[in-house]
Amino acid sequence: MNIKNSLRIRLVALIFVGAFVLLMIMLSRFSSKQSDGNNIIKPVSPTPSPTPVCHVVLDPGHGGYDRGASGTRTGIGEAEINLAVARFTQDLLIAKNYSVTLTRNDENAIAETKKEDMAKRRKLMHETGADITVSIHMNKFKDSAVHGPMVFYTKGDTASQTLADCIIQCLCNTLEIPKRHINTGNYYVIRDSKIPAVIVECGFLSNPAEEEKLCNSEYQMLLAHAISDGIDMYRLSVVRSSAEI
């Protein structure tokens, strides 16, 4: 073996040793990353499921030949106020990326008779693929001292009960009144509903002071804020409970 060959063999051996040392360094760095809690290589999370509760049916009660309750002083029909509050609520929900279906979007009823009208509203609630329904009304009572919002759900319907509770909490907070209880009621429009459904009675047209407020568009907007916040609160509760499963 001449000197030239000997040098070539030494050079090749040196390259092999160098590559081996480099490999060892890389392996040791990789294993130290694995043992470091903050740098653990985690599996890629699956794509999160779509946000639950994203489509809301708002049902402005009454309309057309059926004006509903009327104001003691002004004679205004609740149908008109229901629509105003529903439209404000719709705008707020759309701004928060909900999709919204209104059961009526003008002063008219949606069918020739009251019975057909109610049936059509129920059909809309269930055939539009909505996640929840909020029916908006104004109240009336023989004792004119009675006032304040009320939220009704069907007894035994726990999802609707949660929705009702979220909305009454937000109404009481927004209107700065003490927390009220929710109520059960046997109403055709929300009875046996396939989706959570509640009736929001925003206030009493039989109470003169409240009638004045309910006719005011700023107060109607306040009610709309409270209802949309209540829907948000309900959505959050659904997200949290599905995350716990």
Residues 203-222 that bind Zn ion (CB under 5 A): none
Give 88 or 187: the residue with its C-beta nearer to Zn ion: 187
The residue from 53, 58, 61, 204 that contacts Zn ion (CB under 5 A) is: 61
Shortest spacing between CB 50 and Zn ion, in angstroms: 33
Shortest spacing between CB 156 and Zn ion, in angstroms: 23
Interface region with Zn ion, contact rule CB under 5 A, candidates 10-18, 28-36, 59-67, 233-241: 59-67
CB-based contacts of 67: which residues, under 8 Å, 6+ apart? 77, 78, 79, 80
Shortest spacing between CB 205 and Zn ion, in angstroms: 10
By the rule CB under 5 A, 63 interacts with Zn ion: no
* Cα–Cα distance list, 5 to 9, 11, 15, 173, 209 (Å): 6, 10, 16, 91, 108
Please, are residues 198 and 190 in contact by the beta-carbon 8 Å criterion? yes
Residues 130-149 that bind Zn ion (CB under 5 A): 137
By the rule CB under 5 A, 68 interacts with Zn ion: yes
Shortest spacing between CB 41 and Zn ion, in angstroms: 59
Give 69 or 195: the residue with its C-beta nearer to Zn ion: 69
Shortest spacing between CB 60 and Zn ion, in angstroms: 10
Instruction: List % helix, strand, coil for the chain (3-state, nearest 5).
Output: 50, 15, 35
**The pair of three-digit structure tokens given for residue 127, joined into one six-digit string:** 């055939």
Interface region with Zn ion, contact rule CB under 5 A, candidates 56-64, 106-114, 174-182, 190-198: 56-64
Window 159-178: contact mask with Zn ion (x via CB under 5 A): --------------------
Please, are residues 167 and 159 in contact by the beta-carbon 8 Å criterion? no
DSSP structure string for 77-128: BHHHHHHHHHHHHHHHHHHTT-EEEES-SSSS-SSSSHHHHHHHHHHHHHHS
CA 53 to chain centre: 5
Give 61 or 203: the residue with its C-beta nearer to Zn ion: 61
Among 237, 195, 219, which residue's Cα sits nearest to residue 101? 195
Shortest spacing between CB 61 and Zn ion, in angstroms: 4
CB-based contacts of 48: which residues, under 8 Å, 6+ apart? none
By the rule CB under 5 A, 230 interacts with Zn ion: no
* Dihedral (CA of 87, 198, 81, 208) sign: negative
Question: How many chain residues interact with Zn ion (CB under 5 A)?
Answer: 3
CB count within 10 Å of CB 169 equals 18
Give 88 or 204: the residue with its C-beta nearer to Zn ion: 204
Q: Which residues bind Zn ion (CB under 5 A)?
A: 61, 68, 137
